[in-house]
Amino acid sequence: MTKTTARFAAVATLTAAALALSACGGQSAAGGSAESGDAGAGGSVTTDGSSTVAPLTEAAADLFREQDASVNVSVATSGTGGGFKAFCADETDISNASRPIKDEEAAECEANGVEFTEIIAANDGLSVIINPENDWATDLTLEQLAKIWAPASEGTVTSWADVDPSFPDVPLVLFGAGTDSGTFDYFTEEVNGETGAIRTDYSPSEDDNITIQGVAGDEGAIGFLGLSYVEENEGTIVAASIDGVYPSTETVQDGTYTPLGRPLFIYVKNAAYADKPQVKEFVDFYVANSDEIAELALFVPLTQEQITVAQEELASLG
């Protein structure tokens, strides 16, 4: 099942439930009243950033449309870094991010008078994916990942046998996130010990579906992307365990899938929240319905402690 099919099948089910609730008592999905004939906030909400977080914000927009169809929520995907560039240039209301904002990005926002609030939105397990025909690398160590992806490995680690002598002499074919991606930053920091440190002879893309297609098409391929893409493409690609731990809702939430379990964020422009009723309405809805949104987009929901943090972050906007 494709990402779009999976998402919209779930939306159809939730839409029916929302309509049923509306018929019974006029309650909106966010818990407020949604009376027939309400005009809604109107206007638009502009978002950009992480391709990993985009499906989460798209799911939030799908559900939010049932509460207020008058608001148009746009979701662009220029990568976490590209999203922050637009956000700090005062071009968007919300920036979708798969990593925290960097000091230099925050400084750019400050220089342009853009004040913001970080809100934790969901969790993700950054997943290492292999071809389904690969039966030798189903459990990899962090040391092996570093050997595969380190800058020094370029030109020398070219076969699976170079990674481990017990592996077959099958050529390594590498796919992964592009340099504007928060997934790229996170993966290189955790695996190679330095943000941006990676061999250059891999196929980078800001579109995770390109990584999936590449890995699915070659027995010796390996790539990295968010957990939701693994769940939505079961059978097409396979996630490897890392040091014996498989990425899942349970292992991400309980902290055992380390160091590749991570939080995901939305960054909200304070002025947009204060001055645009549609932005406030959408962000409030996003936080209030984080569990349903995460499940719809096949992400790992927030823990109760994280929900409290998100609610406190939202309260600081008010």
pLDDT tens string 173-223: 999 999 989 999 999 999 999 999 999 999 999 899 999 999 999 999 999
Tell me the average pLDDT across 112-120.
Answer: 98
How confident is residue 74, by pLDDT bands cut at 50, 70 and 90?
very high
- Using an 8 Å Cβ cutoff, are 50 and 98 in contact? yes
Q: What is the DSSP letter of 226?
A: -
How confident is residue 5, by pLDDT bands cut at 50, 70 and 90?
very low
**What CA–CA distance (Å, rounded) separates 147 from 125?**
21
Considering all CA atoms of the chain, what is the largest pairwise distance in Å, rounded to the nearest integer? 69
Residue 59: CA count within 13 A, CB half-sphere: 30
**What CA–CA distance (Å, rounded) separates 132 from 234?**
10
pLDDT digits (tens, 9 = 90+) for 267-291: 999 999 999 999 999 999 999 999 9
**What CA–CA distance (Å, rounded) separates 176 from 13?**
33
Q: What is the pLDDT of residue 24?
A: 34
Tell me the average pLDDT across 47-63.
Answer: 96
This prediction has a pTM of 0.79
- The dihedral built from the CA positions of residue 251, 254, 260 and 262, taken in this order, carries a sign that is positive
Range list of β-strands (E), the chain: 44-49, 72-75, 94-97, 116-125, 127-130, 139-140, 173-177, 203-205, 221-225, 238-239, 241-242, 261-269
